[in-house]
A and B are shown apart, each in its own frame.
Chain A
Amino acid sequence: MPTTNFPRLVSDIGGTNARFAIEVSACNFVKVTILKCRDYPTLAQAITHYLQSSGYPQVKHAALAVPSPIVDDTLFMVNSPWHRSSMSQTKTDAGLDSLIFLNDFHALALSIPHIPTENLVKIGGQEADHSKPICIIGPGTGLGMATLLKHPTSEEYFAIPAEGGRSSFAAASEEEFELWKFAHSRFSHVSVERLLSGPGLQLIYEALCTKQNPPIEKMLDPSEITHLGITNQCYICKQTLDHFCRILGTTASNLACISSSFGGVYIGGGIIPQILDYFVKSDFHARFVDKGRYRTYLAKMPIYVIAHDYPAMLGSSYALDTYLNKHYIP
């Protein structure tokens, strides 16, 4: 692997914060820094500021993971001050020779083979078959999904980023149909992201509150719901988390059926690591395998929660390396 193009810039950009690092040699990151997006009018200014202040103004190659589909030149980051940034303009303004953008779940998928095992919490299944597809699902602000494939005769990986969070919600019990009806009264199409995300926690909570007698009208933040649920301070929050874990089980299992994920099912996103102990004891895995005749098929698939501070950087780094050496984005 040519090493002449180090140091490189890798970054994981969210709606509020942008995490930057300098990769000085393969997967060796230094100067990890979090910047507030709103402190910089443009993405290029944030990049330039970071490179200057970290003492690496000579960096010429960069890979950025962003919470946006990558379709044409325009980034679509609704909740970010850098919404509708032009990728090519950013490259020019930041003075870079190469700059690639990846959807954050695309980067997360590519990171999986590089995540150290101590940053993975296994919650069921058998051994992974490393020649088989890997899938990733992660509830956070939205619900991200992606699939990762290994080339049959080389060690190359490539990812299939997608919008699986927008597939239709599959209610699996009468109680879940009550949730579906509540959501359907508000949205004509009930995607699974409507329930499996931060706002989804609020929606489930609200649906359960309206069934109480008298109805509860106090709205909570997603983080309040998770906190009050895991500390057993609020019964409805706890019920909300129970539904959430079960629905994630069905959804992860639907994805696993579509992608034949004997390479493993990985759970990312911001919510599950916050409720990890609760999640491990939940009905998630019981629901994951609950597909009639396909129980034994699904029971084989290993499931992991990703507990790593900045996994998307590992994937961005792999993508940049492939791009610089083989001229495609994996």
Chain B
Amino acid sequence: MSNNTFPRLVADIGGTNARFSLEVAPYVYSHTKVLACSDYKTLVEAVESYLSGIGVAHVEYAAIALPTPIAGDMIFMVNSPWHTCSISETKQQLQLKNVVFLNDFHALALSIPHIHSDYLIKVGGVAIDEYKPRGIVGPGTGLGVASLIRHPNGEYLAVPAEGGHSSFTAFNPEEVELWQYVHKRFPHVSFERFVSGPGLQLIYEAVCHQQQVAISSLPSPAEITQKALTKECWLCQTTIDHFCRMLGTIASNLAVTINAFGGIYIGGGVVPRILDYFMLSDFRCRFEDKGRLRQYLEKIPVYVVTHDFPAFLGVSYALETMITKGYLP
């Protein structure tokens, strides 16, 4: 690792906030700051403001995670005030020697081997086999899915994907009814329709329909989780119960599809907010409930990622690989 490439800028950009930090030595971060995207016209302006705010004139290397697919030079940020961003222009305007942009779930996948065990809450299973594939699933604004593969030579490679758009698999007659309700609105019912922040509202609606309860005003995802945790609303509790079980099904589908003996990791914004409830839910029970494959699944550990800035670790690994080996892992 070439030390004269530090400090490096790392960033995790969301729709509302942009988190910046300075990587001063491998995986050592300093001056972490959260800026509101809407205060700046462009990403370049936000970076310049961050750097001048911490008294750093210039960095030569940067790695940036974004909640959008990265293909080609132009990046489209649907829910961001910045809308678009050109990779080559950003590199030129910030006078960077090298910059990597990657999808936030891609970054999360690459971060997994570097997350300290203090930030991983284990939900069942035995020990991981670090040579085997890892699966990442994270309900937030959408449902992110990725895999992390360790090449036999020790390098990690992430497979960012669109697994959230795989078809929802109803597990029991009750879930068949939820599917039927949603199928009337969307011809294709993906897992993301249910297992995401907006999905909480859809499950709530479907549960109310099932229970023949009229909805006066639809609660927000945050209200649903809040009222379920405080046990103020049994419909919200039923919603979260369904959510946890459905997350068990998709996590388990992912696990058997990639032989995830390296573990399944749950990221995204929703689960850390309901952590205690989640730990007591049917998630693990559903995860293992795959008939003849129960013994296989019983071995696979699941972890909830509670690290505040996991994407930093992932973009650091990506940037290091780009600098030393010339490819995006």
A residues contacting B by CB (< 8 A) are 133, 145, 147, 149, 151-153, 158, 160-164, 166-172, 174, 177, 180-181, 184, 187-189, 191, 250, 253-255, 257-260, 290-294, 297, 326, 328-330
Interface residues contributed by chain B, number (CB under 8 Å): 49
- Most chain B CB atoms below 10 A, which of A153, A162, A253, A290: A162
CB within 8 Å for A162 and B259 given contacts A133-B159, A254-B167 = yes
Contact with A along B231-264 (1 / 0, CB 8 A): 0000000000000000001001110111100000
Instruction: Tell me the bound Cα distance from A254 to B293 in angstroms.
Output: 19
A204 vs B136: C-alpha distance when bound (angstroms): 34
Q: Which residues of A contact B186 (CB under 8 A)?
A: 292
Q: Are A258 and B290 in contact (CB under 8 A)?
A: no
Q: How far is the CA of A81 from the CA of B292 in the complex (A)?
A: 22
B310 touches A (CB below 8 Å): no
Task: Collect the chain A residues with CB atoms within 8 Å of residue B329's CB.
Answer: 152
CB atoms of A257 and B163 under 8 A apart: yes
Cα distance, A31 to B165, chains bound together (Å): 47
Q: Contact check, A291 vs B159: say whether CB atoms are below 8 A apart.
A: no
**Contact residues, B161-184 vs A (CB, 8 A):** 161-173, 176, 179-180
Task: Verify B159–A189 contact, CB threshold 8 A.
Answer: no
Return B279 CB to nearest CB of chain A, in Å.
23
A162-B256, A162-B258, A172-B167 are known contacts. Are A260 and B187 too (CB-CB below 8 A)? Answer: no
Is the beta-carbon distance between A168 and B169 smaller than 8 angstroms?
yes
Verify B289–A257 contact, CB threshold 8 A: no
Is A255's CB under 8 angstroms from B152's CB?
Answer: no
* Complex: A133 Cα to B162 Cα, angstroms: 13
Contact assessment for A167 and B256 in the assembled complex, using a CB-CB cutoff below 8 Å: yes
Asked if B188 and A291 make an inter-chain contact with CB atoms under 8 angstroms apart, the answer reads yes
A70 to chain B, nearest CB (A): 10
B256 touches A152 (CB 8 A): no
Q: Judging by beta carbons under 8 Å apart, are A166 and B152 in contact? A: no
Interface pair A259/B290, CB less than 8 Å apart? no
Find chain A residues with CB under 8 A from B169 CB: 167-171
Chain B residues contacting A294 (CB-CB under 8 Å) are: 162, 165, 190
Q: In whole Å, how far is A199's beta carbon from the nearest beta carbon of chain B?
A: 13
Beta-carbon contacts under 8 Å, B98-156 to A: 133, 145, 147, 149, 151-153
A167 near B161 (CB under 8 angstroms)? no
Q: Are B256 and A163 in contact (CB under 8 A)?
A: yes
**Are A170 and B167 in touch, CB under 8 angstroms?**
yes
- Name 13 extra pairs, CB < 8 A, besides A153-B326, A259-B257, A260-B160: A133-B159, A145-B257, A151-B151, A160-B258, A163-B296, A166-B256, A166-B292, A170-B167, A171-B169, A254-B253, A258-B147, A293-B165, A294-B162
B327 interfacial by beta-carbon distance below 8 Å: yes
- What are 14 A-B contacts with C-beta separation under 8 Å? A147-B159, A158-B151, A158-B152, A160-B149, A160-B259, A163-B259, A164-B256, A164-B257, A166-B290, A168-B290, A191-B293, A254-B253, A292-B186, A293-B165
- Do B188 and A290 touch (CB < 8 A)? yes
Q: Which chain A residues lie closer than 8 Å to B149 at the CB level?
A: 149, 158, 160
Q: In whole angstroms, how far apart are the Cα atoms of A151 and B154 in the complex? A: 12
Given A257-B162, A292-B190, A297-B162, check contact A153 B170 (CB 8 Å): no
Question: Are A328 and B152 in touch, CB under 8 angstroms?
Answer: yes
Residues of chain A within 8 A of B187, CB atoms compared:
290, 292
Q: Within 8 Å CB of B159, what residues of A?
A: 133, 147, 149, 259-260
Across the interface, do A161 and B259 meet the contact criterion of CB distance under 8 Å?
yes
* Residue of A with least CB distance to B162: A257
CA distance A197 to B161 in the complex (A): 27
Q: Closest CB of chain A to B204's CB: distance in Å?
A: 21
Chain B nearest Cβ from A229, distance in angstroms = 25
**Distance, CA A137 to CA B173, complexed state (A):** 28
Residues in A with CB closer than 8 Å to B259 are 160-163
| Interface 0/1 of B285-327, CB less than 8 Å to A | 0000111110010000000000000000000000000000111
Whether A292 pairs with B188 at a CB distance below 8 angstroms is: yes
Contacting residues, chain A, for B87 (C-beta < 8 A): none
Which of B147, B160, B167 lies in contact with A291, CB distance below 8 A?
Answer: B167
Chain B min CB distance to A266 (Å): 15
Chain B CB count within 10 A is highest, among A158, A160, A184, for A160
CA distance A177 to B145 in the complex (A): 26
* Residues of chain B lying within 8 A (CB to CB) of residue A258: 145, 147, 161, 163, 166, 254, 257-258
Give Cα distance in the complex from A119 to B321, angstroms: 38
- Indicate the member of B133, B167, B259 with the most A CB atoms within 10 Å: B167
Does residue B44 face the partner (Cβ distance < 8 Å to A)? Answer: no
Q: What is the CB-to-nearest-CB distance from B164 to chain A, in angstroms, rounded to a whole number?
A: 8
Please pick, from B151, B291, B296, the residue contacting A191 in the complex, using a CB distance under 8 A: B291
Is A153's CB under 8 angstroms from B327's CB?
yes
Which B residue sits closest to A326, measured CB to CB?
Answer: B152
Which of A147, A170, A180, A184 has the most chain B CB atoms inside 10 A of its CB? A170
Note all chain A residues with C-beta closer than 8 A to B258.
Answer: 147, 160, 162, 164, 258
Tell whether A330 pairs with B162 under 8 Å between CB atoms, given A169-B169, A290-B188, A291-B167: no
Min C-beta distance of A255 to chain B, whole Å: 7
Complex Cα distance, B170 from A168, in Å, reads: 8
Are A168 and B328 interface neighbours, CB within 8 A? no
A100 smallest CB distance to B (angstroms) = 13
Once the chains are docked, how many angstroms separate the CA of A174 from the CA of B293?
A: 27
Interfacial chain B residues near A164, Cβ < 8 Å: 256-258
